Amino acid sequence: MGRVIIAQATVQLVPVLEALPFGDEAQPLPPGPSRLHAAAWDAYYQAALAEAGFADVRPIAAGERFVAARALIGHPRLDHLVREALTDSGLPGFPSDDDDACPRMDRISPLEGGFALVIDGDACLMPSCCSDFRNIEDWEATVAARPAHDELWMGHPALVVEWRDERVTVAEQWEYPPAPDYLLEATLPAASLAAAVAAARTELTAFRADLVPIVARLLGAPDQAAAVTARLLGL
């Protein structure tokens, strides 16, 4: 039996970036999943951040790799993440040795992140593999359709989502049996989730606007900044 949550107060969907680097490969990884060993993983990530010169970055929850996206505005860690995404793109300041005809925008790697589901102040569900900020469209689609039973993309594996009258349940899945016993199932007020998704879109729009001047500065090409920012966010 996994963890079951019945939301009582607030629901948020927070845009987050995977902003925590791994440390020295010689350092052993903490045991087990971070959800069950949050303190050990938190210490590991904080040591990795300090080693990389970003000791003041704080994740959205202990033991997690994700940081609220707008919390990184003005922080050198965000500059670093953008530079990594633009490396070898062929854009101004980021030369490419590749002579093929691939369009430069196609060489940009979207920033790794997505949306964290925060229930009653507890960041419960994080994006997983292959998620990015385009995931907002999946959240908006489920709010619009309110399916009795469907999947909701948040990275591998997708969530199961079930809408029933004024409530909605989201539940984690596992791709390969047996499933671990720490998977989460959360039942939320439908109106609260709908409001959280709308607020997340607003927050993402604000983050996009904040990111454009940063991209312009790093590129030294303000005329390309808006299009590059959209690509970085997968939009």
Q: Identity (one letter) of the amino acid at 25?
A: E
Q: Which amino acid is at 181?
A: D
The two tokens of residue 200 are 């997340």
DSSP class of residue 70 equals: G
Cβ-contact 98, 90 below 8 angstroms: yes
Q: What distance in Å separates the CA atoms of residue 146 and residue 117, rounded to the nearest whole number?
A: 18
Give residues with Cβ within 8 angstroms of 55, minimum separation 6.
Answer: 46, 49
Alpha carbon distance 216, 223 (integer Å): 8
- What is the pLDDT tens value at each position of the chain, 235 positions in all? 456 666 666 899 999 999 876 555 557 888 888 888 999 999 988 888 888 888 888 899 988 889 999 999 999 999 999 999 998 888 888 888 776 656 678 888 889 999 999 998 889 899 988 889 999 999 999 999 999 999 999 888 889 999 998 999 999 988 777 877 788 899 999 999 999 999 999 999 999 999 999 999 999 989 999 999 999 999 8
User: How many CB atoms sit inside 10 A of residue 51's CB?
Assistant: 14
Q: How far apart are CA 58 and CA 71, in angstroms?
A: 9
**Could you tell me which of 234, 219, 223, 20 has the C-alpha nearest to residue 126?**
20
Look at the block and give the residue holding tokens 């959209």: 230
Q: Delimit the domains of the chain by residue range.
A: 3-12+75-232
How many C-beta neighbours within 10 Å does residue 102 have?
A: 12
Asked whether the whole model's pTM tops 0.95, one would answer no
